[in-house]
Amino acid sequence: MHEYPFRWPSPVDQPAEWAGLHEEPLVPVRLPSGDTALLITRYDDVRAVLADHRVSKNRNRKGAARMTENKQKIFQTPVAMHGPEHTRVRRLIGKTFTAKRVEALRPRIAGIVEELLDDLARAPQPVDLNATFSFPLTIRVICELLGVPAQEREHFGDTSAPPWEYMRGLIERRRREPGDDLISDLIGVHDAEDGRLSTEELVWWCTLLLLAGYETTANQLSGSVVLLLHQPGEPERLRTDPELVPAAVEELLRCQVVGSSLSMLRVVTEDIEVGGCPVPAGTSVIPALDAANFDPAAFGCPASFDVDRAPRRTQLTFSTGQHFCLGAPLARVQLQEAIGRLVRRFPNLRLAVLTPQLQRAEDIFFPAFTAVPMFL
Ligand code: HEM
């Protein structure tokens, strides 16, 4: 039986296990906890399972597989993260955290990117892309969106003060003095039945927005730059034809080199079928976003990086269905502005170490690069 997550053989090559994996719709895997689950490998099946209400993200169900031996506790959440309550909250948040709102932020995001590119140009080389560009960008963007004042930004990285305590205080301040920010708008949001977000829901979801997105986006950005620099001629194409940048970002997300799908673990609540095979209630499954993105039936020659893929099917790195990444539009705008502007400003951008020397974090959820030293 395969161990999951699979190991990355090199910083830019995909795990060997993916080749041939799609011949079977369901592949048993052993998780770091020692528990077993079925990996759902094919693009169409992954989409169908993520849209199926008989497959739940409730990880506390009796008999459900655990990701790691001790991770279960961390996933005990103070508000419902599945079922109708979760759907209600998602609908309310979606009223104000819209793709339109994010698109309106694009010029501001572009401005922050340009400031950080100036910082990069002034920094002694080699310069670490993570520390000098990717993380400062995504932290500033999420803080500005939520209205976290600049002088208070260290609070949420400070483990001595739990981030939700800080968030509770910020929400109280915004109740008294609303600002032009997402938290103020979320406090006021309500639906036709005049449903509102409770204080507990506000605290939990605002903290989630603050913490769920900046690290993933920063790691995806640095990982994307590494992968792009390994595609002969591609940075040059993006420089001369900026309109290709959004398609390149989608292809970089498809080939994403920083995450695993371990946290996609679900449990089946009623008997279902996947790829013609019966899956009884109680089975733990992983709709594997990474495997789906490499399904040859969905993406011809999946191992090759191809910005011009046609017809273009949506990559699944942001998932789909009820839990579809709430920050996907924001992540896309940041990746597009950052990657497009970075390659245009620094035509000689290159890694300052040999690729095999890049280190991945010892993290089964996000084995991202710990540092990405570059020459400009
Ligand atoms: C490249 C960057 C990102 C990637 C690859 C990513 C990926 C994901 C994935 C795979 C999920 C889980 C979906 C599921 O279980 O079906 C998720 C959920 C989520 N993401 Fe993202 N994300 C990114 C950026 C962001 C950003 C920027 C934000 C916030 C502004 C964010 C906020 C969230 C939230 C709140 C959820 C929970 C949604 C729910 O359970 O309903 N993410 N993301």
Query: Which residue from 77, 101, 325 has its CB within 8 A of the most atoms of ligand 1, so it is best to mutate?
Result: 325
Residue 311: cis peptide before it, omega within 30 degrees of 0: yes
* pLDDT tens-place string over residues 26-37: 999 999 999 999
Q: Is 258 exposed, middle or buried (0-12, 13-18, 19+ CB in 10 A)?
A: buried
Q: Is 90 in the pocket of ligand 1 (CB under 6 A)?
A: yes
Q: How much is the pLDDT for 158? A: 60
Q: Report the range of poorest mean pLDDT among 62-76, 127-141, 192-206, 291-305.
A: 62-76
Ligand 1: which residue has its CA nearest to atom 20?
A: 325
Q: How much is the pLDDT for 156? A: 61
Give the 3-state secondary structure of residue 284: strand
Q: What is the distance in angstroms between the CA of the first residue and the CA of the last residue of the chain? A: 45
Phi, psi of 241 (to 5 degrees): -130, 80
Which residues lie below 8 Å from residue 291, measured CB to CB, with a gap of 6+? 18, 21, 22, 39, 40, 41, 42, 46, 261
**How confident is residue 71, by pLDDT bands cut at 50, 70 and 90?**
low
d(CA 67, CA 207): 23
Contact yes or no for 30/36 (Cβ under 8 A):
yes
Element (H, E) at 167: helix 163-176
d(CA 155, CA 161): 7
**How confident is residue 108, by pLDDT bands cut at 50, 70 and 90?**
very high
Q: Is the pLDDT at 74 greater than 70, yes or no?
A: no
CA-based diameter of the chain, in Å? 60
| Mean pLDDT calculated for residue range 161-180 | 90
Residue 40's Cα: distance from chain center in Å? 19
Element (H, E) at 253: helix 245-254
Q: Is 207 in the pocket of ligand 1 (CB under 6 A)?
A: no
What domains can you pick out in the chain, each with its CATH number? Answer: 2-375 (1.10.630.10)
* pLDDT tens-place string over residues 261-289: 999 999 999 999 999 999 999 999 999 99
